[in-house]
Chains A and B, each alone.
Chain A
């Protein structure tokens, strides 16, 4: 195996255009990123953002229009899929319906010309690893979605690829199974020590499993970072909006002091925040504040006052919507733990609006 200083995958200025150069559709627009050895890396974004295209470029199902891809230092973007030591777990499993589970798992090893004894041993190991020991002689068509998922994993891991590519593998499963499979995937990644590249549009999946996440949109990488980083310090409005619930307030920079800044909304509400900014007075920007960091205070005790306009009960938490004087609505999330005072507030009541310290991110784009 390569040493830890080498990246598992390096993407350099990759462009992918479908169709002719003249009227083609750009799926990837100058993407560069590194995926480290032995990490659980997630490509996250809405459909059409280019995440699946990038994965298919890794697998070799598509050809780059421009740019290079390196696998442990070796340039691979022009190699055929069967020439690359990477394997894929397909979205709808793509298990061979005319073969038993055993033959499915042995398929890659057979094509690689491994000796029968080794194939048999590996298949048994893989069946054990995904807890499918008793299913070796079944056909995939007689199994449930979760079982097919495990076989697909075993099949892709059997040849011991340098990188495992997972194309939204959990999207076809129901909620309970999906959550169980998250833990399973993390366990497999740790056990095998193989670099996982995981594609999903589901932010919960991405946040809960990944070492690092690349958030993509419109064929470009918006931000790369750890789950906490991306949630707390989104690089731009797209990332802030796409990951979790949030409030985005359009403001312009007002008077600044040494330790605080006044931001003015378009409707004229002034918010004095204990936070410095390097942006000049009059600059237009957005404030990002998560609902759990918006606090309801007594009238006059917050950064500004407002009115409660909507309550949504969600079980563990409730979402309260408060309206500032200029009409801007902010969502605030509260735990429904017993004895909290705000449970007595009703729609139409005047409230103060405050923010948790250091919870506001300033976004310029």
Chain B
């Protein structure tokens, strides 16, 4: 019956609606994903030159998994990301608990500011400052240097979802646990921690993604033997683009995508 009614003018019911906006939004999403699609498409190019399409093939993926240098740098990336994630998540969880459950106290704003410092300072500045610091104190632990640097900038990323989860959590459940004869530790162990788990998983995932994808700090801090995957990819791009870069980049993208999806579902409230 709606369709049969003839409108004499347009406008009723359409308060501040812009029907053409979906075109802008569509173009925006196309712009956002077009380069990634191009990259993935080219990674299946069987030709030798990365920009000339020669037919579908997965040869370059095979090459990636037999390239020792790529595998070694991927291993470095995994080690750094795993250790930095564990460290930063533990540190961030303790910090978030103190800040979200500690009431109002002097130094709270300062603490939050300090935690978010790595987000505010441009990465290149952090990178060179860290480089000079390690050189000045003569710290040369190889991957250890990288792990420390990564832990620092992973803390705020792990911190944010954990704190958000804590602040969205009802403290009455902890009170109920205490009422039901739990010690403070038992209340934390059996009530707070399980409820907080999605936030911790979200924070850890985010920290892992950020560490895995980090390039600038790794570029400045890593040495010959401690190249991470993004640094190695950068070197490949500098030497000239080969389809191998497309393949290894697509793999890294797929891993990030999977992890971000995990994060997205873990950080959804009400689960």
Contacts and interface: CB of A to CB of B under 8 A. Distances in A.
Interface in B1-47: 1-2, 5, 7-15
Interface string A121-149: 00000000000000000000000000000
Contacts of B15: 61, 81
Interface stretch (A62-70, A154-162, A229-237, A256-264): A62-70
- Secondary structure class of chain A's binding surface, majority of residues: loop
A80 interface: yes
B11 A65 contact: no
A66 B5 contact: yes
A79 B2 contact: no
Contacts, number: 43
A77 interface: yes
A62 B13 contact: yes
Contacts of A81: 11-12, 15
B13 A65 contact: no
Interface bin, chain A: 10 to 19
A78 B1 contact: no
A80 B17 CA distance: 11
A65 B12 contact: no
Contacts of B10: 78, 80
A75 interface: yes
Interface in A43-80: 60-66, 75, 77-80
A278 interface: no
Contacts of B1: 15, 17, 21, 65-66
Nearest to B6: A78
B9 A78 contact: yes
A62 B13 CA distance: 4
A78 B2 contact: no
Contacts of B8: 75, 78
A3 interface: no
A300 B207 CA distance: 88
15 contacts: A17-B2, A60-B12, A61-B15, A62-B13, A63-B13, A63-B14, A64-B12, A66-B1, A66-B5, A75-B8, A77-B12, A78-B8, A78-B11, A79-B12, A80-B9
